[in-house]
Amino acid sequence: MRDFSFLESEISDWKKAGTYRPLTEIESEQGTKVEINGKKVIQLSSNNYLGLTTHPKLKEAAITAVKKYGAGTGSVRTIAGTFDMHEAFERDLAKFKHTEAALVFQSGFTANVGVLASILTENDVVISDELNHASIIDGIRLTKAKRRIYRHVDMEDLENALKETQSARVRFVVTDGVFSMDGDIAPLPQIVALCEKYNAIIMVDDAHASGVLGRNGRGTVDHFDLNGRVHIQVGTLSKAVGVLGGYVAGPKVLRDYLIHRARPFLFSTSHPPAVTAACQAALDVLQSEPERIEKLWANTRFFKSEMKKRGFDIGVSETPITPIIVGDDELTMKLSDRLLEEGIYAQGIAFPTVPTGKARVRTIVTADHSREELEFAINAFDICAKELGIKRD
Ligand code: PMP
């Protein structure tokens, strides 16, 4: 048997640096409190923005779908795995997003990879924000297109990139709508104006804006009133929507193209009925319970202002993502561990997910958190951060 010492030595380096993290097991449903090691703690690390993971309508829809359609689909979409419910959901999703069509992928990750890798050729250029999500980076790596990375939300650099690349067949400008580690919103109106000026295609990854920004959570495009002016919207069904999956919303021709060429769509089995039915129910809840989004934002404002008052560095976030920036990797993990002892689950994030020196405990409050839970968490942050010398008073 070949030994794996070449991996072990790397892992032992991570252990020395304090960035080795065993997976945390959650022994309950994904609510505002979760059970970890037999103890109930407040969950501040999930992407369950609207509390939909445990919504009775989603659960009920999933159970009903399993009873009618079974547990799995037994095929990829293009062979025998397209059920009526998949198509119905995509039609409703397109209507919701104000686009001609939508196509669901197994995840947001594969949606990004599927679009970028299938469409772009060696005659094209992809222009991408330096802080875009890993799935965009990997999608770009799979293309033969030329790459031009622009400085984070730097419109001058983006314009230079567009000026430099006018001879390309197609230019794709790709940006996260909400940046996942810092929680800032892309300056979409300016990006759209530049893409219109230079005749480029714009693609927005709205993973952290789906269900969070825009009317009923339609995303950043709707938030900035840019419906009809963004060519490709990618989103996720795994975060605020509470289930699993990714989608591409855009022109019908794009959907047709992806069905025939996007490899993660072509070569991976379709979503089980429970997943699609729960997503469909979530789409209804987004429209029938808008108070969830209001509560999410009220909780966000409260949490951010209290953390700021207490002197924490919470970066530049404009959304429910609140990073508590510590800097040092090891200290960040210690803070996360101490918080867990105090009854708060808030995961530390270090390199390579964020740049070295920018390690943070990243929190996301949800619509379902009570004021008491948030106050308890804020106090715990205060106690643990003082103890570790991260903040003084
Ligand atoms: N894009 C961004 C910006 C994300 O934050 C994520 C989730 N980490 C994804 C895409 C991938 O989404 P999913 O979890 O549905 O694969």
Q: Is the pLDDT confidence value at 263 over 70?
A: yes
Q: Is the pLDDT confidence value at 256 over 70?
A: yes
pLDDT in tens, 336-384: 999 999 999 999 998 888 888 999 999 999 999 999 999 999 999 999 9
Q: Does residue 146 carry a catalytic annotation? A: no
- What is the spatial order of strands in the sheet that 344-345 belongs to? 33-36, 39-43, 344-345
Angle at 386 between CA 383 and CA 391, to 5 degrees: 130
Q: Does residue 239 carry a catalytic annotation? A: yes
Q: Which atom, in ligand 1's list, is nearest to the CA of 135?
A: 10
Q: Which atom, in ligand 1's list, is nearest to the CA of 132?
A: 3
- Domains in the chain, please, with CATH? 18-49+290-387 (3.90.1150.10), 56-288 (3.40.640.10)
Taking residues 237-259, report their average pLDDT: 98
Chain-centre distance of CA 88, in angstroms?
Answer: 24
Position 352 scores a pLDDT of 81
Q: Which atom, in ligand 1's list, is nearest to the CA of 236?
A: 15
Position 183 scores a pLDDT of 95
Taking residues 88-93, report their average pLDDT: 98
User: ipTM for the complex?
Assistant: 0.98
Tokens read off for 123: 């005659």
Tokens read off for 149: 């990375």
Provide the pLDDT confidence category of residue 8 given band limits of 50, 70 and 90: very high
Position 20 scores a pLDDT of 84
Q: Which of 33, 55, 208, 304 is catalytic?
A: 208
Q: Is the pLDDT confidence value at 392 over 80?
A: no
Taking residues 29-34, report their average pLDDT: 98
Q: Does residue 55 carry a catalytic annotation? A: no
Taking each helix axis from N to C terminus, what angle separates 273-288 and 56-69, rounded to the nearest 10 degrees? Answer: 150
Mutate to test the pocket of ligand 1, among 49, 130, 133, 233 (most ligand atoms within 8 A of CB): 133
Q: Is the pLDDT confidence value at 58 over 70?
A: yes
